Structure 1
Amino acid sequence: MIRKKSRREESLDHAELARLLPAPGDPHLSLDRHLLLEEHLMSEIQLTAPVPAPSRRPARRVLLIGVPVTAAALAGAFAFTMLTGSGGSGTTAATPPPVEAPVVRIETGSTAQLASTVEHIAAAASASKTPEPGPGQYIYIKSKVSYLSVSHTDTDKSKTWVQPLHIRETWNSPDGRQGWLDEPGYQPKGGITLNSDTERNLNGPSYDYLKTLPTDPDALLKKIYKETKGQGNSPDQEAFTTVGDLLKEQLAPAKLNAALYRAAAKIPGVVVVDHAKDAAGREGIALAHVDQQSGDRTEWIFDRKTYAYLGSRGVQVEQVDDVKPGTVLECTAVLERAVVDAQKQRPGAQGTDA
């Protein structure tokens, strides 16, 4: 007797399988869902990555900059992190959804008042009484910040998305070996350690390292160009960025601060912008430089009367990758800079931890 194979035993070709299986669903995600998945993915990456040491451009490097992310790719990465159960030892509060980047009028920079403006800034820096951190103490910096989240999405290339303005606090020992970062919504609850045994340099300086730098502007600028050679989009842009990074979450001796400003004035392409606002809404005058590759201008903002450093701003000045001119890509404001006696301690709360 000849037995016939049942349908279950018969092999099915691709056409037969396609006929039997339901049609695949539409993978398109709404923009809100797209951004939600992107934010979740980036928070998962931050939790699973090794604890970072203090680094240059601390927030901007971990974000998707200028990359058109597809919804399918985000959904796949989201599924991977959920299936593998990845996560850090701490818990992270819900990351605030990104907001549309503000757009400002682009003011043309000028070199007409560059020399006099820099001398005013350098003189103010020299006269300032910078606290000297001692052994066991920590340099405390409190800032208000907003960084680029994603330049655009495949579903909407007309908008650029940034983090909402939020508080970021850092504590660093003078030698740079001990530190702490607290940034609610963007780091695990309570903060993360910044401890590091890495030898300090211009890309990751400590207060003790900064004290070894020359205070002659020409010698200082020569060292900056030498040690940052091959980094960034151009030598001039990298030199300007390096000086700017030393102004944000670091404390430098007064003479070095003055030398940094005088050195920056010697970088080709540096201009003065008469009006700029920091993340706290304070208006001032700015020293600025345009990145010729990315088309954005970095502005260091100073108080118009005291010439004290207020914060920084990144503004797109040329159309690149669908980012409109005038778009504010990042904005910072230094709210407090002090020396405290313990890690996670805030000024005015001596003897108690944060």
Structure 2
Amino acid sequence: MDDLDLIRERADAVGLATAEDLAPARERLLAAARTGRPRRAKRWFWTAGAAAALAAGITAVVALAPAGETGAGVGVGVGVAHADPVRVLTEAAGAALGEQAAVPRPDQFLYVKTERSDHSVREVWFSVDGTRDGLIGDTKIPGCRDGKAPVYGANDPSKEGTLEDCRPSPAYRTDLPTTADAMLAYLEEHHSGERGDVNALGKDVISLAYEHALRPASYAALFAAAAKVPGLTALDHVTDGAGRPGVGITWPVPPGSSPKARPEVLVFDATTHRFLGTRDSAVTVKTFVDRVGQRPGR
């Protein structure tokens, strides 16, 4: 049984409590801490501290440092959180596991809208099964049918519309692992950078979380696998590309990087633990539609 199995077992057994649900328990703990007997003052103070710490842990994932406290590679004004970043990612995995995700038809498209910190917007329509032509903005993305895909936007006009060999790239990934260990092995096998480059691995996590659709168990495995990466840091006072506040999780910048290089930062809602995006961009809409160019509700 790995970490994700424990998360799944816990979620199935008791569900995911809200802060409102836990508030009465927190008050009882604090009340108990305040009613200790004077003749056992030393033990009372220890109990009060332990109860307060436990109550804080129940109602919030992270206890955050003041904005002025910063860590290596982190910009001024971004505080390092006191809490273990592994716990933040574990909570995110539990939240993902509890999602009720829709199962698309093969002929549908995954629509994703992202907003960037410079207020620009990106929209994509990707084929669910990878066989139909999609769009990134106004740029046509060829689907792969019978091992062949048309060429669009070629520099050489004579190649426009010709066919080349391909393999379908489905937007809906049902082939991904559903355990933390298996997902980490998958990420290491299909890494985009050098083996052992945790910053590149972070980008691979972002790529799968952004413009792909995964089953809830695979989303959970993705965040649980990320929790196993060494050198993680939790950050306070982080907003995603749409300005939504949250808790940030980052990896170290590779040695030898430019002094201006900034680490990738994944942003999660501090209350629901839902993945929001990164410090530079935010996933604001992600759903399935019936045709290219269609937006939700139209």
TM-score by length of 1: 0.52
Q: Distance in 1 between matches of 2:273 and 2:223?
A: 12
Matching of residue 263 in structure 1 with residue 225 in structure 2: yes
2:134 equivalent to 1:179: yes
Q: CA contact under 8 A between 1:141 and 1:336: conserved in structure 2?
A: yes
Distance 1:233 1:224 in 2: 10
| Match of residue 120 from structure 1 | 91
Q: Measured at CA, do residues 267 and 140 of structure 1 come closer, stay the same or move farther in structure 2, by a change above 3 Å?
A: same
1:303 aligned partner: 269
Counterparts in 2 of 1:289 and 1:144: CA distance versus 1, 3 Å: same
1:143–1:267 Cα change, 3 Å: same
Structure 2 unaligned spans of 5+ = 1-73, 145-165
The match for 2:243 is: 281
Measured at CA, do residues 290 and 115 of structure 1 come closer, stay the same or move farther in structure 2, by a change above 3 Å?
Answer: closer
TM-score scaled by structure 2?
A: 0.61
1:123-272 paired onto structure 2 within 5 Å = 123-145=94-116, 164-177=118-131, 178-182=133-137, 191-197=138-144, 198-199=166-167, 206-208=170-172, 210-228=173-191, 231-232=193-194, 234-272=196-234
**Could you tell me how far apart the structure 2 residues matched to 1:135 and 1:251 are?**
13
**Residues 302 and 171 from structure 1, CA distance in 2 versus in 1: closer, same or farther, beyond 3 angstroms?**
same
Other-structure match for 1:338: 287
- In the alignment, residue 139 of structure 2 is paired with which amino acid? I
How far apart are the structure 2 equivalents of 1:269 and 1:104?
17
Return the index of the structure with the highest Cα Rg. Answer: 1
In structure 2, do the counterparts of structure 1 residues 241 and 111 end up closer, same or farther at CA, with 3 Å as the change threshold?
farther
- Is the 2:238–2:247 Cα contact (8 Å) retained in structure 1? yes
- 1:130 deviates by 1.6
Distance (whole Å) between structure 2 residues aligned to residue 105 and residue 241 of structure 1: 23
Q: Deviations over 1:140-179 (max 9, x none)?
A: 1011125xxxxxxxxxxxxxxxxx3211110111122331
Judged with a 3 Å threshold, the aligned counterparts in structure 2 of structure 1 residues 234 and 165 are, in CA distance, closer, same or farther, namely farther
Distance 1:129 1:300 in 2: 22
Q: Which amino acid aligns with 2:176?
A: L
Q: CA RMSD in A?
A: 2.2
| Consecutive unaligned residues in structure 1, runs of 5 or more | 1-102, 147-163, 183-190, 314-330, 350-354
One-letter code aligned to 2:171: Y
> How many residue pairs were aligned?
199
Higher helix content, 1 or 2: 2
Q: Would you say the 8 A contact 2:198–2:252 is kept in 1?
A: no
Deviations 1:165-218 (A, max 9, x none): 211110111122331111xxxxxxxx1111143436xxxx5334x211211111
Distance 2:195 2:253 in 1: 7
* Distance in structure 2 (CA, Å) of the matches to 1:141 and 1:277: 19
Which residues in structure 2 correspond to 1:48-87 (within 5 Å)? none
CA offsets 1:97-128 (integer angstroms, 9 cap, x no match): xxxxxx96343545842232122111111111
Match of residue 78, structure 2, among 87, 100, 107: 107
C-alpha distance in 2, partners of 1:130/1:110? 31
- Return the alpha-carbon distance in structure 2 between the equivalents of residues 333 and 132 of structure 1: 23
